[in-house]
């Protein structure tokens, strides 16, 4: 793909200068891959990071050499569990950069907030380490491309935490569909029907004494501490998260693209939705539809529902492909009469599960062994990033303005009709409510920029707060 720079997007020469002034820029020569024990550091140990710790502790050829979290209040039990299992405590650092400087560490396992995923990953690569990074691997399109470039430049393994890529069932279905087992796929649909209650409203305040708030903010703009923008609820604030389409949804978005067999970006995107049922501190939609169209006419449709809802064709958090010969639901296939048919395909992903797959690739020093290589992760992250850009640029319109907000896209309009029914069932008065209707955006897959829309291009990246600047990788 053609090289995209921050200067191309926004003329940010100052941003590039800040990147070169980073206090942490170690670049070490590639060392021999670990042949016996992989020494790994875990960054971010609350929530999903705790799962990372348990996975690594279960492997005899992995040693957790260090842990890091900007909140020391969440590290106690983790440190004890590691010491109990390994017989000694790991090194602890509150500042990620100090662990990156440790040349004895082979790999870094990242489970921090979305807005720091790319920065920490690139820092780790520059320090000569392999990277396992939770989904999504980026907070925006531009930085995701920099991570792909960095992985290739430093010739290291970078695996996104898209565990479905290591699922035999998902792999078999993808191969079955690619071989034409269901005929042409008209729509590959991703679903994130996950109940999310109100987070309420909370005043700004003072960070807990256990928190290094400057480190937590990282690349994000300086602003007062608020508990509703901190542990987990950061997902619903644009400065740090990407909403549920980029949280739980990225798993299903990744599978939607995989099943459709697309290794390129779509050409068109449009998204609509809103935050319905409550008023709180959240910014991201709890109800969203995104339509992404490819050059050949195939389509991905993604649905987010955060209020109570029934399943769609047996799925709530999963995928449905609408095909010439029937449809799929989960990892099963059904003919046009709804009768289940066998899913037959040879082969499978590299064995051992997603975390094991990463360690095997690290020990072999072979990124081609990864089930969810950084480029696959980037291609899938771009889908929800550009959908969110359309949504954020939208304008509020009344529900009775039109029954066909997606124009001639029948599948999109049918999805909108079901969304309206869903909202009514949750006692949303659509005669008074409005939704945000985003513009149809044309995306250039080669340059990873929009066509003729400077406002959309601006949202492809962000203003990075020095010294936490994602470097532009040449």
CB atoms within 10 A of CB 395: 10
C-alpha closest to that of 387 among 246, 264, 282? 246
Return the pLDDT at 48.
92
Instruction: Give me the CATH topology for the region 168-345+380-452.
Output: Dihydrodipicolinate Reductase; domain 2 (3.30.360)
Return the pLDDT at 15.
36
Return the pLDDT at 34.
62
CATH number among 3.30.200.20, 1.10.1740.10, 3.40.50.720, 3.30.70.1520, domain 6-165+354-373:
3.40.50.720
Distance in angstroms (rounded) separating the CA atoms of residues 142 and 474: 13
Q: Under a CB-based contact definition with an 8 Å cutoff, are residues 433 and 276 in contact?
A: yes
Return the pLDDT at 114.
98
C-alpha distances in angstroms, 244 versus 53, 227, 312?
Answer: 24, 19, 18
Return the pLDDT at 2.
38
How many CA atoms does the CB half-sphere of 344 hold within 13 Å?
Answer: 3
Return the pLDDT at 8.
47
**Where do the structural domains in the chain lie, given as residue ranges?**
6-165+354-373, 168-345+380-452
Distance in angstroms (rounded) separating the CA atoms of residues 359 and 362: 5
| Extended beta strands in 45-129, E state | 62-68, 91-93, 107-110
CB atoms within 10 A of CB 258: 25
Output the CA torsion sign for 272, 137, 158, 110: negative
- pLDDT tens figures, 321-344: 999 999 999 999 999 999 999 999
Return the pLDDT at 466.
97
Q: Which two tokens stand for residue 255?
A: 């599978």
C-alpha distances in angstroms, 282 versus 162, 344, 377, 393?
Answer: 25, 44, 26, 17
C-alpha closest to that of 88 among 112, 110, 66, 117? 66
Return the pLDDT at 33.
54
Residues with pLDDT less than 50, the chain:
1-4, 7-25, 27-30
Q: Under a CB-based contact definition with an 8 Å cutoff, are residues 16 and 6 in contact?
A: yes
Coil, strand, or helix at residue 396? strand
Distance in angstroms (rounded) separating the CA atoms of residues 251 and 379: 12
Return the pLDDT at 206.
97
């Amino acid at each position: 793909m053609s090289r995209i720079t921050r200067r191309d997007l926004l003329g940010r020469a100052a941003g590039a200068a800040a990147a070169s002034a980073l206090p942490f820029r170690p670049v070490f020569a590639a060392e021999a891959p670990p042949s016996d024990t992989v020494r790994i550091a875990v960054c971010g140990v609350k929530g999903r990071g705790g799962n990372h710790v348990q996975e690594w502790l279960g492997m005899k050829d992995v040693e957790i050499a260090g842990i890091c979290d900007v909140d020391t209040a969440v590290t106690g039990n983790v440190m004890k569990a590691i010491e109990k299992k390994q017989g000694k405590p790991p090194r602890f650092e509150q500042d990620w950069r100090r662990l990156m400087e440790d040349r004895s560490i082979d790999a870094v396992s990242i489970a921090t907030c979305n807005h720091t995923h790319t920065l920490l990953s690139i820092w780790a690569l520059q320090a000569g380490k392999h990277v396992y990074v939770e989904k999504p691997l980026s907070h925006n399109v531009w930085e995701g491309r920099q991570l792909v470039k960095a992985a290739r430049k430093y010739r290291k393994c970078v695996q996104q935490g898209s565990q479905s890529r290591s699922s035999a069932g998902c792999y078999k279905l993808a191969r079955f569909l690619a071989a034409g087992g269901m005929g042409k796929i008209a729509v590959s649909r991703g679903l994130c029907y996950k109940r999310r209650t109100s987070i309420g409203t909370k005043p700004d305040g003072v960070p807990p004494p256990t928190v290094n708030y400057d480190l937590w903010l990282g690349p994000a703009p300086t602003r007062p501490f608020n508990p509703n923008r901190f542990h987990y609820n950061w997902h619903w604030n644009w400065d740090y998260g990407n909403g549920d389409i980029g949280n739980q949804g990225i798993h299903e978005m990744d599978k939607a693209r995989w099943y459709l067999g697309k290794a390129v970006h779509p050409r068109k995107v449009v998204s609509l939705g809103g935050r319905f049922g409550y008023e709180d501190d959240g910014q991201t939609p709890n109800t969203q539809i995104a339509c992404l169209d490819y050059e050949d006419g195939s389509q991905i449709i993604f649905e987010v529902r955060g209020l109570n809802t029934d399943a769609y064709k047996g799925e709530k958090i999963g995928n449905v492909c609408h095909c010439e010969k029937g449809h799929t639901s989960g990892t099963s296939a059904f003919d046009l009469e709804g009768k289940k048919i066998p899913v037959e395909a040879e082969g499978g992903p590299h064995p051992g599960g997603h975390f094991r797959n990463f360690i095997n690739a690290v020990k072999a020093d072979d990124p081609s062994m990864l089930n969810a290589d950084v480029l696959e992760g980037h291609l899938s992250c771009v889908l929800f990033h550009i959908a969110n850009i359309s949504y954020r640029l939208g304008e509020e319109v009344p529900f009775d303005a039109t029954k066909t907000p997606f124009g001639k896209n029948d599948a999109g309009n049918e999805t909108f009709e079901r969304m309206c029914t869903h909202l009514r069932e949750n006692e949303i008065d659509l005669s008074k409510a409005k939704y945000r209707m985003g513009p149809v955006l044309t995306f250039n897959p080669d340059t990873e920029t929009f066509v003729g829309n400077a406002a959309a291009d601006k949202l492809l990246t962000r203003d990075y707060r020095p010294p936490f600047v994602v470097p532009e990788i040449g």
